[in-house]
Structure 1
Amino acid sequence: MASLMNFKECIAICNFDYLPEGLEAKFNRYTPDNNSQLIPRAFLSELFESYQVPESLQQRLVAGIEEIEQDDVLFHFTKFLVEDLCSVRDRCDETPYSNMTPGCMKQYGDLYSFLLLLACVVPSMNKLERRNVPKAYYEQIPHQPLKLQLEKLALHGDPKVHDFPWVMNFYTCSIFLLDRFYFIPYQFGDPFTMFRQMNTREVAALRHAGEEFRSDGQRNGINDVLDLQGSFTSEWDENDTFIIANRINPMGFVERETTPIFKNEWERVLEPGDTLLALHIPSGAGYTPERVKNSMMMALEFYDRYFPELSIKGFWSSSWLYDTRLSLILDNEKSNIVRVQQQFYNYPTLDGDGMLRYEVFGDWKADPVGSPGELTTSLQRAAAEYMRTGARFNTLSMVVLREDVPQIGNMPYITDADKEQFLRTVDSHLSNLSGRAQQDR
C-alpha cells in the first residue's frame, strides 16, 4: 500500500520536522525494493560485538529500527531516503540533508537520524563492491563518525547527530582518504571561468560580471567591512574575438584593472557545472606541498579507475589556511601553511574570518584583540597583532587543475608579479575607511 502513495501523502503521514527541498521528483522515480529489513541484523550483530555495545543500548537501537520497519509508510519512505543518500554525493547533488525526526514515531523518533545514516552503510559498501573498489579504501570510512556516535549514546544516551551533512559522507562511503587528504566529488559553481593560454600554458581565471569588490579585491562587505569609496564592480565584455574581464590574481583577490584575452589563443579549462574533487584537510602532521601533490595524484588515479563516468577537471577546497594574508605574518620559507597555499590558484569568497577564529583561537566569535586571553602559540600572537591594526583575515577557496598537479611544489600559478601586486593591494581598503572616519569626525 505504501508504495502506491504519492509523495504528499507519505510525508503527511510521516510528519517530519524537517525535509530538504527537491525530494518529490526523486521520490516519483524511486523503485521500491522488497527488503524486509532496514538494517541487516547480521551487520548490527557484528557492530555491537565490535564496539561492545551495552545490552540496553542494543535493545534500544533494535527497537528503534523495528518501529520504523513496522510502519509501512515510514519504512517505504525511509528506504527511499537511504537510496537517495547513498548516491547524492556521487551525483554532486547539493540536497541539504540534515537531522530529521518523523512525528509518526512515538517512542524512538530521537534515534531516527542516526538510524537513517546507519542504514546507508551496507548498501553503500555493496555499491562500491560492485564497482570492484578494494575494501581497503572504504571499510573503515563509516567507523570514523560511528565510533563517536555509539560512545556518545552509551555514555550519555545522546542520539543527536552532530554535523549531519558532513558525517553522511562517511556513512555513505562517499569520501576517501588518499594518503594525507580526504576527497569527494564536487560540482564547481563559483562565478568565474578559467582559461589556459595554448602556447605558454599560463592559466587565468576571469571573474564574471556584476559582483562588487573592495579596493583590496575582496568581496565588499566581507567581515561586515564595506569600502564605499574604493569599491568596483566586475565586468565581462565578450565578442567573437576577445574577452575583457577582471582577472583573479592567484594570490586570492580580484584585480581592479580588466585583462583582455584573445579567444583563439586561450581555451576554457574550467567553468561552472564542471566536476572537481573537493579536498578536505584532517588534522595532523604532513601538511606539505609534497603530500598535497601525492594525495592529488592518488585521487586522480583512484577516481579515473573506479568512477570513470566522472570527468574530473581538478581540485577545489575552501579554508582559512588559504588566506594569503597569512603570508604577511608567517615565515614564507619555513611555514607549510604558506608553502602549500602558494601551490594553488586562490580566490576570494563571501566567508570572513570565522573559520580562522575557530581554528586558531578556539571559538567562531573569538576576539583576540578585545579579549585576548592567553595567546600561547606564535600563530595566535602574530594573527592577533595583525588584527590589532584593524585588518581582518578571510576564508579563501582554491582550485588546482588536473594537468597542473605534477607542478605542485613549483608554484604552477603564482608569479613574482602576482606577489608584488598582492603586497600593493592587500588591505588597501583600510586607508579608505580611515579617510572616511576622519571626515566623519
Structure 2
Amino acid sequence: MDRRLNFNECIAICNFDYLPEGLEAKYNRYQPDHEPDLIPRAFLSELFEQYQIPEQTRQRLVRGVEAIEKDDALFHFTQFLVEELCSARNRCDETHYTNMTPGCMKQDGELYSFLLLLACVVPSMEMLRKRSVPLTYYEQIPHQPLKLQLEKLVLYGDAKVHDFPWVMNFYTCSIFLLDRFYFIPYRFGDPFTMFRHVHTQDVMALRHAGEEFRSDGQRNGINDVYDRQGCFTSEWLDNGELIMANRMNPMGFVERETTQIMKKEWEPVLQKGDTLLALHIPSGPGYTPDRLKNSMTMAVEFYDQYFPEFSIKGFWSASWLYDTRLSLILDNEKSNIVRVQRQFYNYPTLEGDGMLRHELFGDRNSDPVRSPGDFTTSLQKAAAEYMRTGARFNTLSMIVLKEEIKQIGSMPYIKGADMEEFHRTVDSHLREVCG
C-alpha cells in the first residue's frame, strides 16, 4: 500500500461479517512489522508432512493464504489481528474474538478464521522463545485443536472453527498444561472482596451490595427459579472502622445475615482488577487434591519465572464440578469431585445447570426428568433423581489464594460450621412459596 488505510477505510474494503467492538483504538496504535508472509511456508510444509495432508487440501490452504496476502487491505488488517490475538490473553483482554469472515475474500472465505488462528502459532512461539520458556512447555499446545481441525478439513472439507475463543488459547500458546490442569491469566472482576485476618490468617469473602439472592444463597432467578418471598439483597456498609456485609460461605452460597469485620484486623487480599490464573480441567484421570496441589505449585513457579510482570494472587475457575449440591448425592469420603471442591473457596454465579446437563446428559437443554434416557453411571442416576425433587444444580466459581496452596488436601477455607450452615440453607427456597 502507498499509504496506510485508516480503520474505517480498511474494514469497508474487508467487509467482515463480524468484528469485535473496540478494535479501532488498537488498530490506531498498531505498528506493522512488514512481514512478507502471513504464515511462513516452511511452517505450513512441516504441518502438511506431519499430518500427511492430501494434495487437494494443501492447495486449498495455500490458495487461502495467498488470497489474503494478495489483498493489501485484508493482509494488513489480518496482520493487525494476529498481533492482537497473540498478546490478548497475557493482557487479560476480554474482547470477544470469534469467527470472522471477510466479504472481500470471494473464494475460500470460509477458511479465514482457521488461517487467522494458524497465523498466530509462529509469532506466539517466538514470543515465548524470547522469554526463554523451554520448548517443552508449548511445543504441542497448538496441536491440541490443530489436529482435529485438519482432520475435519480433510475428511469433510469443513473449515469452520468450533469454539473460537477457547481454541484461540492454544493457537496463541497462551495456555499451559502443568501436570494435570491448564492455566491462563485472568483478571478478577466478580463483585466481592476477600480479606485475610492479620493474626489468624483466616480468609473471608464479603459480597458487594445490590445483588438479589434467594433464601438458599444463590442468585435469584438462576435456572429461572425465583424466590420472591424469601429473597434478600446484599448489603455493604463501610464507616471507616468496620465493614458490614454479607459473607460468602465457602460452601458456595451467600449468607442472609450480615457479618461485621474491623478493618484494622482484616486486610483485603483479592479485589477487582487483581490477576489470577484461570484453571481449566481437561478430561481424564487424576482429578484429585494431590494433583491439584502439585499443578498449582507448578503454575505459580512457572509464571513467577517466565512472566514476572504478573502479580499472581491465586486461582479462579468456574465449573459444574464445584457445585456443592453434588455432595448431597455423592460419597463425601470417596468422591474426588467432592474432595476437590472442598479445597476451594466456592461462590455462586449467574450460571445455572446447563454445563452439568451437557457434561452428564449430553445436551445443555436435556431434561433427565421428563426424558430419563438410558443412564449408565451412578452420577447420572443420582443427579436425575435429585432433579426429580424439583431441585436444580448450579455452576459455581472458586478461588484459591496462592498462600493456601500448601494447605490443599486439608480444606483451607471450609470449616465444619460452614458445612452445617450449607445443609440448613441448601434448597431452602423450595420450602418457600415461589412465584
Report the TM range for the smaller structure's normalisation. Answer: over 0.9
Map of 1:45 onto structure 2? 45
Q: Does 1:299 align with 2:299?
A: yes
Structure 1 Cα separation of the partners of residues 2 and 226 of structure 2: 54
Map of 2:252 onto structure 1? 252
The letter for the 2-side match of 1:34 is H
Map of 1:328 onto structure 2? 328
Stretches of structure 1 that go unaligned for 5 or more consecutive residues are none
Map of 1:75 onto structure 2? 75
Q: Deviations over 1:55-110 (max 9, x none)?
A: 01000000000000000000000000000000000000001000000000011111
Map of 2:338 onto structure 1? 338
Per-residue deviation, 1:2: 6.8
Map of 2:287 onto structure 1? 287
Map of 1:424 onto structure 2? 424
Map of 1:93 onto structure 2? 93
Q: Which stretch has the larger CA shift, 261-270 or 360-369?
A: 360-369
Per-residue deviation, 1:238: 0.1
Residues 289 and 408, structure 1, Cα contact 8 Å, conserved in 2: yes
Map of 1:27 onto structure 2? 27
Q: Deviations over 1:268-288 (max 9, x none)?
A: 000111000000000000000
Q: Deviations over 1:185-228 (max 9, x none)?
A: 00001000000001011100000000000000000000000000
Residues 3 and 76, structure 1, Cα contact 8 Å, conserved in 2: no
Residues 142 and 172, structure 1, Cα contact 8 Å, conserved in 2: yes
Map of 1:269 onto structure 2? 269
Q: TM-score, normalised by structure 1?
A: 0.98
Residues 333 and 339, structure 1, Cα contact 8 Å, conserved in 2: yes
Map of 2:8 onto structure 1? 8
The letter for the 2-side match of 1:357 is R
Q: Deviations over 1:8-59 (max 9, x none)?
A: 1100000000000011000000001121100000001111000000001000
Residues 196 and 202, structure 1, Cα contact 8 Å, conserved in 2: yes
The letter for the 1-side match of 2:341 is Q
Residues 222 and 351, structure 1, Cα contact 8 Å, conserved in 2: yes
Per-residue deviation, 1:3: 5.4
Structure 1 Cα separation of the partners of residues 419 and 277 of structure 2: 27
Per-residue deviation, 1:240: 1.3
Map of 1:241 onto structure 2? 241
Map of 2:378 onto structure 1? 378
Q: Does 1:159 align with 2:155?
A: no
Per-residue deviation, 1:144: 0.5
Per-residue deviation, 1:171: 0.2
The letter for the 1-side match of 2:60 is R
What SS is found at the alignment partner of 1:4? coil
Map of 2:397 onto structure 1? 397
The letter for the 1-side match of 2:195 is F
Map of 1:141 onto structure 2? 141
What SS is found at the alignment partner of 1:287? coil
Map of 1:120 onto structure 2? 120
Residues 212 and 220, structure 1, Cα contact 8 Å, conserved in 2: yes
Residues 212 and 232, structure 1, Cα contact 8 Å, conserved in 2: yes
Structure 2 Cα separation of the partners of residues 66 and 376 of structure 1: 50
What SS is found at the alignment partner of 2:246? strand
The letter for the 2-side match of 1:91 is R
Map of 1:361 onto structure 2? 361
Structure 2 Cα separation of the partners of residues 302 and 255 of structure 1: 37
Structure 2 Cα separation of the partners of residues 261 and 199 of structure 1: 13
The letter for the 2-side match of 1:275 is T
Map of 1:198 onto structure 2? 198
Per-residue deviation, 1:239: 1.5
What SS is found at the alignment partner of 2:177? strand
Structure 1 Cα separation of the partners of residues 157 and 383 of structure 2: 40
Map of 1:217 onto structure 2? 217
Structure 2 Cα separation of the partners of residues 385 and 84 of structure 1: 47
Residues 188 and 272, structure 1, Cα contact 8 Å, conserved in 2: yes
The letter for the 1-side match of 2:273 is G
What SS is found at the alignment partner of 2:432? helix
Residues 215 and 232, structure 1, Cα contact 8 Å, conserved in 2: yes
Structure 1 Cα separation of the partners of residues 365 and 78 of structure 2: 38
Q: TM-score, normalised by structure 2?
A: 0.99
Structure 2 Cα separation of the partners of residues 423 and 429 of structure 1: 13
Structure 2 Cα separation of the partners of residues 347 and 222 of structure 1: 14
Q: Deviations over 1:364-410 (max 9, x none)?
A: 11111111011111001111111111000000000000101110001
What SS is found at the alignment partner of 1:49? helix
The letter for the 2-side match of 1:280 is H
What SS is found at the alignment partner of 2:81? helix
Structure 2 Cα separation of the partners of residues 77 and 3 of structure 1: 14
Q: 1:113 to 1:47 in 2, by over 3 A?
A: same
Structure 2 Cα separation of the partners of residues 2 and 170 of structure 1: 35
The letter for the 2-side match of 1:209 is A
Per-residue deviation, 1:5: 1.1
What SS is found at the alignment partner of 2:227? coil
Q: Deviations over 1:240-281 (max 9, x none)?
A: 100000000000000000000000000000011100000000
Q: Does 1:227 align with 2:217?
A: no
Stretches of structure 2 that go unaligned for 5 or more consecutive residues are none
Q: Deviations over 1:93-144 (max 9, x none)?
A: 0010000000000111110000000000000000000000000000000001
Q: Deviations over 1:288-308 (max 9, x none)?
A: 000000000000000000000
Q: Deviations over 1:400-435 (max 9, x none)?
A: 0010111000100000000000000000000113xx
Per-residue deviation, 1:362: 1.1
What SS is found at the alignment partner of 2:63? helix
What SS is found at the alignment partner of 1:113? helix
